[in-house]
Amino acid sequence: MNTSKIRKDFPALKQRIGGKRLVYFDNACSVLKPKPVIAAVNNFYSNFGSCAGNRSSHLLGWRVQELMEEAREKAAKFIGARSEKEVVWTKNSTEGINLIAASLPLENGRNEIVLTEMEHHSNLLPFFEQSQKRKFKIKIVPLDKDGMVNLDLLDKAVTKKTALVAATHLSNVTGLVSPMDDIVNLAHKKGALVLADDAQYVVSHRENAAASRIDFLVFSGHKIGGPTGIGVLYGREALLKKMPPYNAGGGMVKSVSISGGNIKVNYLPPPFKFEAGVQHNAGIAGLGFAIDYLEYLGGEKIENYLKSLVEYVLRKLSERPEIGFMADYGKHPPSSLVSFYFRDKRISLYDFNLFLNHELRDCFIATRCGHHCAMPYHKIFNVPVSMRLSFFVYNTKQEIDVFCQALDKFLSKK
């Protein structure tokens, strides 16, 4: 991985704030944007800016339509969908999960959703909210002592009443990768569907939805270098066909009529029936270029490079007895991110975070400090707050060294 060449593609890395350069370890929240993505969004607003041709009947709209179709094809290929009909544009992963929670068919007496304690709030709360309205039951599967999905307990929880198992593919807290193949096998054996929360997964791993037989998956554009406000819901076409729309409005209907005061509506087939209103066309264009950029770097190369950074930071942090980790990383190696805490509860991670932002001479270091929208997962480890270091291809081992020096400096201030 030629990081010095890659870094030139990311203008945000060149900026100085208060004269200090940026060391960016908050990639699990949002990856910085490469030039092709910025150019694509800029190009859209500079040269297009119109609606797409599915509603606007002019040359400009038709060109926008082509851009949107190209982006959908790229997204379909990126996640291994069978066709672009299985790719629904959403705002982000959260919206995709909300759509599933609201529209998932509950058939043949299947009225239970199985989740794990590992989930991001975005993979818990949409189901919690809909469980009240749609009268389904939620079962939460406890994790094992290492913080991993416990397949035995999951097997017990999934029954002929289970409609869906929704699980994170890569934890945003620990970086642990869930055994998704096992989860799919176990769920399908009992006739349940599987939703993979791929928000953290697809940036560092090649996903193949069709081959892995995942029924639904979601990811967000901003976590792979794309614009904010655009995401993807993948769903098997046969399932999407059965599901009612989540939002309703223009651009999603074949026909609407009013007869005797009653509205009659025929919706378009998926994905369009889930895409009411004018879409985030600039975001979609940018997402297409973010996918191109990842493909250009190479999925396997990205995975291996991020793994090497994670191994390096773990080795370095493990040398410091003050540090505790959010999982047994010796047993389960994390992927692309690690989280830690101070064993001495008198030392505040929030203060260390401020230190990283204000007290270093040449740079400031951006991390994530908090519960990372996964309070139940933190509770398992009896750690309310952790600091997360998450990496992307522009990060280097030298930056990790800078972080470790800052850590030592902070800890030495007694």
Partner 1 sequence: MTDLERCLLLILGKRSNISSRDVLKEAKKLKICASCSDRSEVFFVGEKLLRKKLVERILKNREYIWRLSQEGKRLLKID
Which residue among 29, 51, 363, 373 is the active-site one? 373
Of residues 393-412, those binding partner 1 (CB under 8 A): 410-411
C-beta of 385: minimal distance to partner 1 in Å?
7
Contact call for residue 354 and partner 1 (CB under 8 A): yes
Biggest alpha carbon–alpha carbon distance for the chain: 79
Residues 23, 32, 87, 299, Cα dihedral to 10°? -60
> Would residue 369 show up in a list of annotated catalytic residues for this protein?
no
Q: Give the number of other Cβ atoms within 10 Å of residue 304's Cβ.
A: 12
Contacts of 124 (CB under 8 A, 6+ apart): 115, 376
Smallest distance from the beta carbon of 240 to partner 1, in angstroms?
Answer: 32
User: Among 74, 223, 372, 388, which residue sits at the site for partner 1 (rule: CB under 8 A)?
Assistant: 372
- Kindly tell me which residue out of 218, 363, 369, 407 binds partner 1, with binding defined by CB under 8 A: 369
Please tell me whether residue 199 binds partner 1 under the rule CB under 8 A.
Answer: no
Report the C-alpha gap between 287 and 297 in whole angstroms.
Answer: 15
Cβ of residue 302: shortest distance to partner 1, in angstroms?
A: 28
Verify binding: residue 370, partner 1, rule CB under 8 A.
Answer: yes
Strand partners, 234: 87, 217
Question: Does residue 350 touch partner 1 according to CB under 8 A?
Answer: yes
- End-to-end C-alpha distance for the chain, whole angstroms: 40
Residue whose entry in the numeric block shows the structure tokens 């203060």: 351
Residue of 38, 347, 380, 404 interacting with partner 1 (CB under 8 A): 347
Q: By CB under 8 A, is residue 413 in contact with partner 1?
A: yes
3-state percent helix, strand, coil for the chain, nearest multiple of 5 = 40, 20, 40
Residue 20 binding partner 1, by CB under 8 A: no
Phi-psi region of 336 (alpha: psi -120 to 50; beta: other; left: phi over 0): left
Q: Which of 83, 185, 304, 348 binds partner 1 (CB under 8 A)?
A: 348
Q: Which residues bind partner 1 (CB under 8 A)?
A: 347-348, 350-355, 358-359, 369-373, 385, 410-411, 413-414
Active-site residues: which are they? Answer: 373
